[in-house]
Structure 1
Amino acid sequence: MFDVLPTQITQLRGSGDGAACVDAAVGWARVCAAAEAQRLSAIAEFAVAFLTSVDEDMSLWAVDEEDDVVAQIGLAFSVSPRWAMGDLEIGAAMRDRFPKLAALFLRGEITAGLDCRITS
């Protein structure tokens, strides 16, 4: 993802170099955005993998396949089903509808907030 990480705060503290602090903050924001894009992309890939491997016997289950995917995502991240569904929808939109946007997000060139506003 990134060959070189931005400067850490322990190296900047007390330096008085404001420009270096701003550069580090921007760099870490890009790292965070890219990590969030990876997380959302992995969620979407999990859903695809799960839904393509569902047995026909699942038709007898009390919940449908999509609800099961959302429940598993929610459990994995300790979030509500609504939150899990939102993450899944964003990841799926990046994967299926906005691959060029996803590429920018995966490189950390746009923020998670901007990606969410566009894909929602």
Structure 2
Amino acid sequence: MFALVVRFDLTDQSAASKFDALVERTAAGIVEHEPGTLVYSTHPVVDEPLARVFYEVYADRAAFEAHEEQPHVKAFLAERGQYLSATRVEFLSDGPAKGLPAGPGDE
């Protein structure tokens, strides 16, 4: 598996609303066209109204790369910057998990 967590900090409430609408459009494309995207979960952060966290799990690195090439994802990447004050991306290694498909050697 290939996983990452992304934190987006938004500039203001108007930007947050527009970013959330962009995320909704993008997520619809992910659900429809990305079988290798196993988890794509987006969350507002409690007590931080201008922060969003995404948790993403892909079947493998190739599935992530295919995700990045999708038209809906390219549109998201092109548009998101105008709403953001900061972004933090953290790539994750495999670890114990519940609810995710077993990775190689986890059987």
* TM-score of the two chains, using structure 2 as the length reference: 0.30
Structure with greater strand share of residues: 2
Greater RCO (Cα-Cα under 8 Å, separation 6 or more): 2
- Bigger proportion of residues as helix: 1
